[in-house]
């Protein structure tokens, strides 16, 4: 068996419902690139480990003794991988498109970038806005007042890149969704480990920001495609609160206390506008922003099925 050129690392947590589709997509995604599949399981109770061993007998499986979060799972999986040229990290609820691996790897090789990201679609094949701009107070307020769907069309008023033309050509970006990312070995050695203090959400932003600080670009590759079914973020107040809390925690690391306070209040304004309607996630987000910012070190509720960013 040839040495792997790419290590595909996936973190599972009660992800059995997604694993058959994910595993079926891997070989065609890799094409002629030698690869290994590394699965880091965060103490699933739904048979995820047995299923992946049945689906991919030669997969490297790392069983964590408890759910310590997505970043911790990635660190465990990356540590178990052999010395490959690049590591593809992805959620279990994705299906990699044909040839995605050589496309992402080729972009790293051609450009010298440290991170490459594919075009993401939903199950209907529609484009998902997976590219992001650096966060700012103005962009939070733009999304709060104008609304995300409209604000994302304007670079100064939203962190979301909502111009579909920007998804048609390869280019550098501030950061991209962590559902699927390829990392060069040089970038990993300079930037790793992933920050486990975030548990879930913002860990991929933190990694890409640190990669850029080390001189590595984040490169968008539209010819590489991945389907993402999406996680439980918009259905779980617990997850939504964690996401909001982590946004401010990450911002606080790179800005002074006054700037951070304004940023935090901007998100409180965003959540307060939306709190009276919907399924309650914005009310929980508002409570999280008003309270302590430190992420709770408690197990993920059983209703949360996957570690999806």
User: Domain range for residue 256?
Assistant: 233-290
The pLDDT of residue 309 is 46
Secondary structure of residue 13 in the 3-state scheme: coil
Residue 10: CB atoms within 10 Å: 29
Average pLDDT over residues 46-71: 93
Element (H, E) at 88: strand 86-90
**How confident is the model over 4-40, as pLDDT tens digits?**
899 999 999 999 999 999 999 999 999 999 999 999 9
Q: Could you tell me if residue 269 is inside a domain?
A: yes
Residues 24 and 171 in one domain: yes
Based on DSSP, count helices (H) and strands (E) in the chain, helices before strands. 11, 11
- CATH number, domain of 97, equals 3.90.550.10
Domain count along the chain:
2
Residues 189 and 253 in one domain: no
3-state SS string for 72-120: HHHHHHHHHCCCCCEEEEECCCEEECCCHHHHHHHHHHHHCCCEEEEEE
Q: What is the mean pLDDT of the chain?
A: 90
Residues 198 and 74 in one domain: yes
CA distance linking residue 134 with residue 149, whole number of Å: 18
Residues 216 and 261 in one domain: no
**How confident is the model over 236-280, as pLDDT tens digits?**
778 888 889 999 999 999 999 999 999 999 999 988 988 888 778
pLDDT over 70 at 302, yes or no: no
CA distance linking residue 78 with residue 4, whole number of Å: 13
CA distance linking residue 42 with residue 181, whole number of Å: 20
Residues 145 and 251 in one domain: no
Question: In sequence order, what are the beta bridge partners of 169?
Answer: none
The pLDDT of residue 242 is 87
Q: Do 93 and 220 form a contact (C-beta atoms < 8 A)?
A: no
CA distance linking residue 105 with residue 88, whole number of Å: 9
pLDDT over 90 at 177, yes or no: yes
């Amino acid at each position: 068996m040839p040495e792997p050129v790419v290590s595909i690392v996936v973190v599972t947590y009660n992800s059995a419902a997604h694993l058959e589709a994910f595993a079926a997509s891997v070989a065609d995604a890799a094409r002629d690139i030698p690869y290994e599949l590394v699965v880091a399981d965060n103490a699933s109770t739904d048979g995820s480990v047995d299923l992946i061993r049945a689906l991919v007998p030669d997969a490297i499986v790392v069983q964590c003794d408890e759910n310590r979060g997505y970043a911790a799972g990635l660190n465990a999986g990356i540590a178990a991988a052999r010395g490959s040229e690049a590591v593809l990290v992805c959620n279990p609820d994705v299906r990699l498109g044909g040839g995605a691996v050589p496309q992402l790897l080729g972009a790293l090789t051609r450009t010298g970038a440290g991170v490459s990201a594919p075009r993401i679609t939903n199950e209907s094949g529609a484009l998902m806005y997976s590219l992001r701009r650096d966060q700012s107070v103005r962009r939070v307020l733009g999304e709060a007042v104008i609304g995300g769907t409209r604000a994302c069309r304007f670079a100064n008023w939203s962190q979301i890149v909502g111009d579909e033309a920007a998804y048609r050509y390869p280019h550098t970006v501030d950061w991209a969704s962590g559902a699927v990312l390829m990392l060069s070995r040089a970038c990993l050695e300079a930037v790793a480990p992933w920050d486990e203090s975030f548990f879930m959400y913002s860990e991929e932003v933190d990694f890409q920001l640190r990669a850029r600080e080390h001189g590595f670009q984040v490169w968008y590759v539209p010819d590489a495609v991945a389907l993402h079914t999406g996680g439980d973020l918009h259905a779980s107040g617990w997850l939504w609160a964690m996401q909001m809390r982590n946004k401010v925690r990450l911002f606080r690391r790179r800005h002074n206390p006054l700037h951070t306070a304004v940023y935090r209040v901007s998100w409180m304004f965003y959540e307060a506008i939306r709190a009276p309607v919907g399924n309650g996630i914005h009310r929980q987000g508002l409570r999280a922003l008003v309270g302590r910012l430190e992420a709770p070190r408690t197990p993920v509720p059983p209703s949360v099925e996957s570690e999806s960013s």
